[in-house]
Structure 1
Amino acid sequence: MNVRRLISTTALAGATALGLVTLSACSGTSSAGGGKGGGTLDVVVSFYPMQYLAEEIGGDHVEVTTLTKPGVEPHDLELKPRQASELRQADYVLYLKGVQPAVDEAIAQSGVEHTVDAATLTTMESHGTEVGHDHGHEGEEHEGGEHEGQGGEEHDAGAGADPHVWLDPVKYAEVAQGVGDSLAKADPAHAADYRKNTGTLVGKLKALDAKFADGLRNGTTKTFITTHSAFGYLAERYGLDQHGIAGIDPESEPSPARIKELQSVARQEKVSTVFFETLASDRTARTLAKDTGLRTDVLDPLEGITDRSRGDDYLSVMESNLAALQKALGAK
C-alpha cells in the first residue's frame, strides 16, 4: 500500500465517525418505492464508470452522487466527513471493489441495505503489466448478484484481480444487467423502466463491441504500450497484446530493467506509439517514447471525465480510444 492510501485509510475512521455524529443533522434525497419517502432514489456511486451505469439505467428515477469528483485520480481518493455522511444516507450504493480501498472500507461500514459491488456481476481476472490474446484467462469466476447490506453474501474479487472490467464492453454489459436487476429490486415501483433502460444501454454496448471487433481486426501489429496497465480485459477481448509501463496501480514506478524490456518490445513488435492517460503523469511515457523514437497519444482508462477527455461520456471516449488504437496499430 502506498503512503497516500495509508493516509486515506487512516483518515477514513475519523471521517466515518464524524459522519455518524452529523447524520441526524443532514437530510438525504428521499426515494420512491421502498426508500426514505417520496421522490427519487438516492444513489451514491464510487467513481465514473459506476456513475454512468447508474445514470443511464436509473434515468429520472435516481439522483446520483459520486464520491470521486471530476479530475480526481480515483485510486487515491480520500473521503471527507461530508462524503461519509452522504454514503450512510444513501438508498442504494454502487461501487467496484478493488479500485479504491478507502471507499471499500467506508461502504463496508455504511450499513446501507442496497449495496452492490460491480465485481460480483461479471468474471474477474488477474492481469499484470503484460496481457494479450495468447494469455490464458486467469482469476476467479463470480456469480452475479447483489450484496445486500450487512446480512448479504459478499463475493470477493480476490487478491490481485484486475478491476478494470468497464474497458471491455462485453463485461461492462454484464455489469449493466446486474445493476438493472438490483435497481429494480431496490425500487420495485419503477422496475419496468429500469429494465427498459438496461436493455437500451446493453444494446449500445453490444454495438460498441462490434465496432471494436471490426475496427481492430486487421493491423500491422497487435502490440501496444501504455502507462497504466488498465487495458488487460480489452486486450484479451480483441486479440491484442498490452505492455504496461506501470502495473495495475498507475503510480507504480517501472524499474530500469522494465524500461529496457519495453524498448526491446517496441523494436521487435513494430510498436509506433506509447500511450498515456489524462488523470496520471505522462512523464515516463514521454521519456520512453523519446528514447525509442515513438509517438505518444492518449488511451483513456475512463476513470473520470474532465474537460481534457476526448468525449463527454463513456461511449464517446471509448470510440476515441478505438480511433487511437487503430492509428497506433495500423488497423483499418
Structure 2
Amino acid sequence: MNVRRLIPAAALAGAVALGATALTACSGASAAGGGKGGKLDVMSSFYPMQFLAEQIGKDHVKAATLTKPGVEPHDLEITPKQTGQLGESDVVLYLKGLQPAVDKAVAQSGVKHVVDAATLTKLEVHGSSGHDHAHEGEEGHSEGEAEGHDHGHGEAGEDPHIWLDPVKYAEVAKGVGAALEKADPDHAADYRKNTDELVGKLTALDAEFEEGLKNTASKTFITTHSAFGYLAERYGLDQEGISGVDPESEPSPARMKELQAVAQKDNVSTVFFETLASDKTARTLATDTGLKTDVLDPLEGITDKSQGADYFEVMRSNLKNLQKALGSK
C-alpha cells in the first residue's frame, strides 16, 4: 500500500502552503538583509571597517571582522571557515589594496552588497614625509615588491591608511551608510541618522587635531610604520617612517643614518612605535639618537594594549602623544 495516498488533500495543500511561506520568508529576509536574528550580517575586513558597521548599523546589524584583535592586518591569511562566513554575509566592508588575502576572498565570495572603502574617498601617494611625493612613493614601492614586501597598496603605491584622517574617514562613513541603506531599506532612516551622528563626531575630532597641532615646536615625527601620511598632510606635519608602508620590512643602514640626521635637524624628541608591530627598530633608533619613545597607534586593531577602547579614544591618545612629542604650545 502506498502510504502517501492516505494523506488528506487539504492537509497536503496546507503543508505545501506552509513550506512556500517559509521559503518566501527566508528569501525575503535575505533580500532585505534580514540575516541572523533579523539583523543585517555585516563582515568587515579589519577594525576600522568594523567600527563603521557598528556605529552606523547599531542594533540593526551583526558586525564581525576577519582580522581578530592582535593580528597585524597586512599579513592576514584567510581560513576556509572565514571564507565560508564571508560568503554568507549580507554586506562586506573592506579596503581594497590593504590585505591581498581579503581582496581575493571578496572577489570570489559572490556577496551582492560589497563596499570597497578605497572607492569612497580619494587615495593619495605618500613618501617618507606627509606631503605628496608621488615619484618617491612609486620608486620605494617598486623596491618593496622586488624584495617580496608587496602588500598591494592600491595603484602606484597609493597609501591605504585613510581612516587616520578624520575628514577622509567621514567620507567613507557616508558611503558605508548609503550602502547599508541599500542593503536594508526598512531601516534606512536609522542608518542616515547614525551616519550623521558619526560624521558629526569625526568633524569634532578633526577640529581637536587642527587646534591641538596648530602651534608646535617641531613639525616632524618619526614612526615605525608610515601609516600617518594622511594625518600629517591634513595637519601640516612631516612623517618620517622607519619601515615604510609595510610595518614588517627592515630599514637599511642608510635609512637609519638618514633618520638620525633628520632627528637632529628637525628637533625631533620622540620615536613612535605601535602596538601590533615589533618595536625593536624604533627602540634601537631611539637609543642611538638619545630620543624618547612613545606610542602612535595606526588603529588597525584594538587590544588590551591599546591606549583606548575604540577609535575615538585611541585617536585622542594619538593626539595627546603627538602634542607632547612635537612640543605643542
TM over 0.5: yes
Q: Residues 263 and 269 of structure 2 are in contact (CA less than 8 Å); yes or no, is this contact kept in structure 1?
A: yes
**Distance in 2 (alpha carbons) for counterparts of 1:277 and 1:72:** 13
Q: Name which of structure 1's ranges 123-132 and 302-311 shifts more when overlaid on structure 2.
A: 123-132
The CA distance in 2 between the partners of 1:77 and 1:37, in whole Å, is 26
- What are the within-5 Å matches in structure 2 for residues 84-163 of structure 1? 84-132=83-131, 135=132, 157-163=154-160
* Of 48-57 and 123-132, the range deviating more from structure 2: 123-132
CA deviation digits over 1:134-174, x for unaligned, max 9?
x4689xxxxxxxxxxxxxxxxx9423110000000000000
1:254 aligns with 2:251: yes
The alignment's TM-score, normalised by the length of structure 2, stands at 0.84
Contact between 1:128 and 1:248, CA under 8 Å: does it hold in 2?
A: no
More helix, by proportion: 2
User: Structure 2: which 5+ residue stretches go unaligned?
Assistant: 1-25, 136-152
How far, CA to CA, are the matches of 1:214 and 1:231 in structure 2? 18
Question: How is 1:204-215 mapped onto 2 (pairs within 5 angstroms)?
Answer: 204-215=201-212
What TM-score does the superposition give when structure 1 sets the normalisation length?
A: 0.83
Q: Which letter maps to 2:63?
A: V
Secondary structure of the 2:240 match is strand
Query: For 2:276, which of 272, 276, 279 is the aligned residue?
Result: 279
Q: Distance in 1 between matches of 2:73 and 2:295?
A: 18
The alpha-carbon distance between structure 1 residues 262 and 193, as it changes in their structure 2 partners (threshold 3 A), is: same
**2:240 is the alignment partner of 1:216:** no
Q: Distance in 1 between matches of 2:59 and 2:170?
A: 21
Aligned partner of residue 115 in structure 1, secondary structure: strand
Supply the AA of the counterpart residue of 2:322. Answer: L
Shift of 1:35: 4.4
Which runs of 5 or more residues in structure 1 are unaligned? 1-26, 139-155
Structure ID, larger Rg: 2
> Per the alignment, do residues 34 and 228 of structure 1 end up closer, same or farther by CA in structure 2, a change over 3 Å counting?
closer
Is the aligned partner of 1:226 residue 2:227?
no
1:128 is paired with a residue whose SS is: coil
CA distance in 2, matches of 1:111, 1:93: 10
For the aligned residues, what is the CA RMSD?
Answer: 1.9
Residue of 155, 163, 186 corresponding to 1:189: 186
Question: What is residue 5 of structure 1 aligned with on the other side?
Answer: none
